[in-house]
Amino acid sequence: MNNFNHYYDSEISRQVISVIVLNEHNVLSRIVGLFSARGYNIDSLTVAPITESQYSRMTIVTTGDKRVIDQIVKQLNKLIPVLRVNEHKNVIEKDTVLMKFSIDNNLSDIDVIARAYHGSIQNVTDDSIIVSATDSSARIMNFIKVMQKFNPLEVVRSGIVAMER
């Protein structure tokens, strides 16, 4: 089999990778630089310090065939501030969205739909309402699609956080 056919026979998959890094300046840019220099895409990236430690956890969602994912993991492991890289196979994933709407909308309809997606009204002012929802990435995408009929003024997503089961 030549390389051309091998490329098309490879299965492209979505991969969640967590990276434990030293919590120091320039680490994020080095990891993002690794992806961009090799032409790999980052679908989602979240970073937060690990409580009572000198480390942070990065959760990266990317896509590629097995060869690409293996290469990403190998390259991440070569970076000096990286302590550990985990490819997750069986994870709980959550994504959060905040959506702002004009107060002119039907608040009870917005509230009922938000609750169906583990969401709720977070803030109400004289001219707007802010709703949040936290669920799987696919359900959050669906929530955003459903809520388009209320003409959101602003939509902000958190990125995916994940933990192995």
Contact 131, 99 (CB under 8 A): yes
Q: pLDDT value at position 44? A: 94
Q: What is the CA radius of gyration of the chain?
A: 19
Q: For each of the chain's 165 residues, which pLDDT tens digit applies?
A: 444 444 455 688 899 999 999 998 899 999 999 999 999 999 999 999 999 999 999 999 999 998 999 999 999 999 888 889 988 788 899 999 999 999 988 889 999 999 999 999 999 999 999 999 999 999 999 999 999 999 999 999 999 999 888
**Among the listed residues 62, 131, 127, the one whose alpha carbon sits nearest the alpha carbon of residue 96:** 131
CB atoms within 10 A of CB 73: 16
Q: Which two tokens stand for residue 84?
A: 């550990």
CA dihedral over 34, 37, 39, 41, signed as positive or negative: positive
What are the tens digits of pLDDT across the range 128-151?
A: 999 999 999 999 999 999 999 999
The 8-class DSSP code of residue 137 comes to H
Total domains, the chain? 2
Residue 77 sits in the same domain as residue 106:
no
Going by C-alpha positions, the residue among 119, 112, 154, 155 that lies closest to residue 136 is 119
Residue 68: give the domain boundaries: 13-89
CATH number at residue 96: 3.30.70.1150
Q: Is the residue at 6 inside a domain? A: no
Looking at 71, 89, 107, which one is the last position of a domain? 89
Q: CA-to-CA distance for 52 and 30, rounded, in angstroms?
A: 24
Partners of 160 in the beta sheet?
Answer: none
